[in-house]
Amino acid sequence: HGDTELGGADFDQLIAEKVRMCFLNDHEIDLATNPTSWSRLLRAAEAAKIRLSTEPSAHIKEEFIASANGEPLHLNFEISRTEFEQMIR
């Protein structure tokens, strides 16, 4: 499994933080404050990182990740390999 701090968990965290900030800006809800939402986001970020190793972009889609005023909110985020490479520099 190797050192997860050398392109593993740390890269997942970078993607998750970027998505978290975009969701926070759009909906004024911080996904990191809900353990279930944050866990789902981290798993989705890891899957996106893996896809980006072979594809030019990856979509992160999570239905019902949060709610506002009783209405479900869905996460739909796209990240390109170029964006990801800039983030990890």
B/e letters for 32-50, b = 16+ CB within 10 Å, e = fewer, are: eeeeebbebbbebbbebbe
What is the model's pLDDT at position 2? 56
- Looking at residue 33, its pLDDT comes to 98
Which burial class, exposed, middle or buried, applies to 65 when counting CB atoms under 10 A from its CB (0-12, 13-18, 19+)? buried
As a whole number of angstroms, the distance between CA 84 and CA 14 comes to: 9
Run means of pLDDT, 10 residues per run, the chain, 89 residues? 65 96 98 98 97 97 96 98 94
Model pLDDT, residue 1: 56
Predicted local distance difference test score (pLDDT) of residue 6? 54
User: Does the reported pTM lie above 0.85?
Assistant: yes
User: What is the reported pLDDT for 8?
Assistant: 80
Whether 33 and 41 have beta carbons less than 8 Å apart is answered as no
